[in-house]
Amino acid sequence: MNFFTVLATITLIGLAQAGSPWIAEPRNLDWWKARHQGLLNQTKLHAAEEKVIFLGDSITEGWSNHGKNVWKQHYENRHSFNYGIGGDRTEHILWRIANGELENVNAKLVVLMIGTNNIRLHSSKDIAKGIHAILDALYSKMPNAKVLLLSVLPRQPENIDSIVHDINKSISQYADNKRVFWLDLTTNFEVTLGLEKAELFLPDHVHLTEKGYQMWQKVMEPTFSKLIA
Binding footprint of ligand NAG on the chain (CB under 6 A): 34, 37-38, 41, 151, 165, 168-169, 172, 184, 186
Handedness of CA 154, 156, 159, 160 (dihedral sign): negative
Distance of CA 12 to the CA centre of its chain: 27
**Do 162 and 177 touch, CB atoms closer than 8 A?**
no
Closer to ligand NAG by Cβ: residue 173 or 225: 173
Q: What's the rounded Cα separation, in Å, for the pair 56 and 82?
A: 9
Edge-first strand listing for the sheet containing 109-113: 80-84, 52-56, 109-113, 146-150, 180-183
**Do 124 and 170 touch, CB atoms closer than 8 A?**
yes
Shortest distance (Å) from residue 170 CB to ligand NAG:
8
Q: What's the rounded Cα separation, in Å, for the pair 183 and 142?
A: 21
Closer to ligand NAG by Cβ: residue 20 or 39: 39
Closer to ligand NAG by Cβ: residue 9 or 41: 41
Shortest distance (Å) from residue 163 CB to ligand NAG:
10
Shortest distance (Å) from residue 44 CB to ligand NAG:
8
Shortest distance (Å) from residue 8 CB to ligand NAG:
35
Q: What is the DSSP letter of 22?
A: T
Closer to ligand NAG by Cβ: residue 184 or 210: 184
Shortest distance (Å) from residue 36 CB to ligand NAG:
8
By beta carbon distance, the residue nearest ligand NAG is: 168
Closer to ligand NAG by Cβ: residue 67 or 154: 154
